[in-house]
Amino acid sequence: MTVRVSMALATSHLGPLLDITRAAEEAGLDRVWTTEGFGGDGIVRAGHLVAHTSRIGIGTGIAYSFTRAPLAVAMAAADLAELSGGRFALGLGAGTRGVRTRRFDAAGYDHPAPRTAEYAELVRAALRSEGGLRFEGRFYQCDFPQLDMPQDAALRAGVPLYAAALNPVMLRAAARSCDGIALHSLATAPAYLRDVVAPAVAGPDRPKLAAWKICVVDDDPAAAADAVRRQLAFYFSTPSYHPVLAGTPWTEVAQRIRDLATELRFRDWGPVAALVPDDMVAAYSVAGDRDSCAEQIAATAGRFAAAGVDELVLQLTSGGTPQQTRANGLALVAAVQHARSERTADAHL
């Protein structure tokens, strides 16, 4: 099984995105995914990249569903499908409770798993509409007999829908309603993939699995590991991520991270990141210099192939400046190129 290799442009910086994406396109990566949450819009960014590339796939990884009406998202996706010539994928996500309530004041987005599933069903119905739309669901209703989607019907109907998922409830809901699942990087530890993800998505209509993996390429391996520690400290400062650690030796680590982050008011991440042990860094990331990361990328692709993952999405870490972020992205692309050139006989890449 060949695993697609893509990138998630996980940064609030806008300036470096096009340079990184063009490098990824030249290197033959399958896709880049845009993100949002700290000052940027995933759909707008996807449109910018679509307009300035010609071959590489572009996806939102993810766009928040709770900030957008489903029909508005469908119209944006239809435009991007036509503008890209069919290269666009729509990734949706419900975020955490804290993101919905504290950041975006979207407390009304309750029952996120079934709501996200129904949201995707309405978006798909709109994209496949041949004229007019009526939808009656538990959370969404639409009566729009005048709907006339002018975009190419085959392209808009073919937009793959992905939903971000981590816990079993969301995994099952996404598997029922979407073409693919965007697996959070915390879902990619071997035991969690085997014991939680695989059973939740099993079935005759199993969705595509695109699995995120934090990736930091740096000539200084210690600096790369420290960047991963900061990312993991940020994740585990949120209690809703703690259940992924059940049955691992890191449950107490996560609680210590949460306690110290709270004490420091989520402003000083250095001491919090220092709580992340080396074995956790190794389990949740690809990190090191170019040669080491190339070997880890190849090994991860092989492990993912065995687990039924279709796409390895290397998650960029944002630098403090646009220049640092650009350098991080280009180094990541170079590591993928090296992995492929050194392992041309490896069927997984």
Domain positions in the chain: 4-219+289-342
Distance CA 294, CA 301 (A): 11
User: What's the pLDDT at 319?
Assistant: 85
Q: Are 302 and 346 in contact (CB under 8 A)?
A: yes
What type of residue is 231? Q
Averaged pLDDT for residues 165-177: 97
Residue found by looking up tokens 């919905």 in the block: 100
User: Does the pLDDT value for residue 342 go beyond 50?
Assistant: yes
In the predicted structure, residue 276 carries a pLDDT above the cut 60? yes
Please report which confidence band the pLDDT of residue 108 belongs to, taking 50, 70 and 90 as the band edges.
Answer: confident
Mean pLDDT of 278-305: 96
Residue 80's identity, in one-letter code, is: L
The residue to which tokens 């697609």 are assigned: 4
Residue pair 212/313 in contact by the 8 Å Cβ criterion: yes
C-beta separation of 343 from 298 below 8 A: yes
Instruction: Give the pLDDT of residue 347.
Output: 58
Q: What is the pTM of this model?
A: 0.96
The mean pLDDT of the chain is 95
With a cut of 80, say whether residue 346 has pLDDT above it. Answer: no
Q: Is 95 left (phi over 0), alpha (psi -120 to 50) or beta?
A: left
Structure confidence at residue 343 (pLDDT) = 59
344 versus 264: which is more confidently predicted?
Answer: 264
Q: CATH: 3.40.50.1000, 3.40.50.170, 3.20.20.70, 3.20.20.30. Which one for 4-219+289-342?
A: 3.20.20.30
Helix H or strand E segment including 221: helix 221-236
The span from the CA of 141 to the CA of 85, in Å, is: 30
Supply the pLDDT for residue 345.
45
Report whether pLDDT(21) > 90: yes
